[in-house]
Copies of this chain bind each other. A is one copy, B any other.
């Protein structure tokens, strides 16, 4: 839970990750090939093969790269030590995602749906998720500790928040309704107020 933060990545590896992002936007997951990634990469295709033997291996590295991007964003907006503010920030970043194109979100939903069939993806998604559960749960635990939150189960609260975030994101990709994310943001807020916050109803 957290041991995979800040993977060292060479300039070349980062460029490959950026090419993978563009190739996923362009082709989706099912039609993604090493060639499609090479087409988005300014250097030689053999460099991609040098770093990653298979598409699977490359995509596992890509999931790790996404997590690091998310963590960097969390780091950036580290707005103090108030657990409730911090929880709000985490939810905002997780729910809206980085500036992702819709095509990318569609490709990620597809990649996620392949996880039950591909052990390496499943493990990578699970590791990322455990990291996010940990971040949220630590924040909730800090709030319980300091008395701003009731004596709730931090991991359980983290899970419920992630259930709502995953549901909102997949529905908004599937049904293309921009309102779902905004409505869910308010529903999470209501959940935090009614379930967590110690001195409000």
For chain A, the count of residues having a C-beta within 8 Å of the partner chain is: 39
Give the chain B neighbours of A166 by CB distance below 8 A: 166-167, 170-171
Which residue from B106, B129, B162, B168 sits with its C-beta under 8 Å from A117?
B106
Closest B residue to A201 by beta carbon equals: B201
Q: Does A51 contact B (CB under 8 A)?
A: no
Q: B113–A110 contact, CB under 8 A?
A: yes
Task: Describe A's contact surface by its main secondary structure.
Answer: helix
Q: A113–B117 contact, CB under 8 A?
A: no
Give the chain B neighbours of A183 by CB distance below 8 A: 156, 159-160, 163
Q: Does A114 contact B (CB under 8 A)?
A: yes
Please tell me which stretch of A8-16, A32-40, A72-80, A190-198 contacts chain B, meaning at least 4 of its Cβ atoms lie within 8 angstroms of it.
Answer: A190-198
List of 4 A-B pairs having minimum Cβ-Cβ separation, nearest first: A167-B167, A113-B113, A194-B194, A163-B167
Give the CA-CA distance A106 to B110 in the complex, in Å. 12
Please tell me which stretch of A17-25, A61-69, A134-142, A173-181 contacts chain B, meaning at least 4 of its Cβ atoms lie within 8 angstroms of it.
Answer: A173-181
Q: A114–B125 contact, CB under 8 A?
A: no
Q: Does A147 contact B (CB under 8 A)?
A: no
